[in-house]
Amino acid sequence: MNTRDKLLILIIVAWIGAAVYFKSTTDKMFVRMDEMEQLQNKHVDKVNKEFREDLKTLNLQFIGRGKHLRKAQKDIVDNTKLIDHVTDSLGRNIETVALDLENFQRDTEQSFANAAKGRDDIESDLSSFKRQQRRFTGDLDQRLSTVETDVADLNERVPPKEAEKKR
């Protein structure tokens, strides 16, 4: 396995790690959205229960028809205001989550683009390094053949008897 293969495996592992991180982050966001929805449902049930209990209390007390109607109307208006307020609050929260998701998506796409650009830069650097190493190896081979030729020429110039005397 050469360095390029190891590098590609490392990049793939990094991508998988990033994908797992982004998946876990989005899962957390969805869990939070589910919790917010449950809280909303709980609150609506609570408001409806309080409203029903107030109506039952009013019916039991039966303060008088006019007073009873005015109180019920006031309670209806108050409940409507509370529901509007909670709806607005939840709407803002939902918009905030939507914006956060859009920002997350944009950041994720940017991160993948940066990773791809980095990978391309590394590939070009690796290609350049390979070319340099090939040139260097070629130069070494050429020098070696030159040295071998020079040694052969020197061996031819020195007569065999003189070579024995020098030993």
Q: What percent of the chain has pLDDT over 70?
A: 88
CB 83 within 8 A of CB 47: yes
**Does position 56 have pLDDT exceeding 80, yes or no?**
no
How many angstroms separate the CA atoms of 145 and 135, rounded? 15
**Does position 146 have pLDDT exceeding 90, yes or no?**
yes
**Does position 44 have pLDDT exceeding 80, yes or no?**
yes
Distances (CA, A) of 50 to 17, 87, 138, 146, 162: 49, 18, 89, 101, 121
115 compared with 50, residue with greater pLDDT: 115
- pLDDT per residue as tens digits for the range 77-133: 999 999 998 898 898 999 999 999 999 999 999 999 999 999 999 999 999 999 999
Task: Count other Cβ atoms within 10 Å, centred on residue 79.
Answer: 15
How many angstroms separate the CA atoms of 58 and 67, rounded? 10
**Does position 63 have pLDDT exceeding 60, yes or no?**
no
Mean pLDDT value across the chain: 87
The pLDDT assigned to 59 comes to 65
Question: In the structure, what pLDDT confidence band is assigned to residue 61 with cuts at 50, 70 and 90?
Answer: low
Name the region of 62 (left: φ>0; alpha: ψ -120 to 50; beta: rest).
left
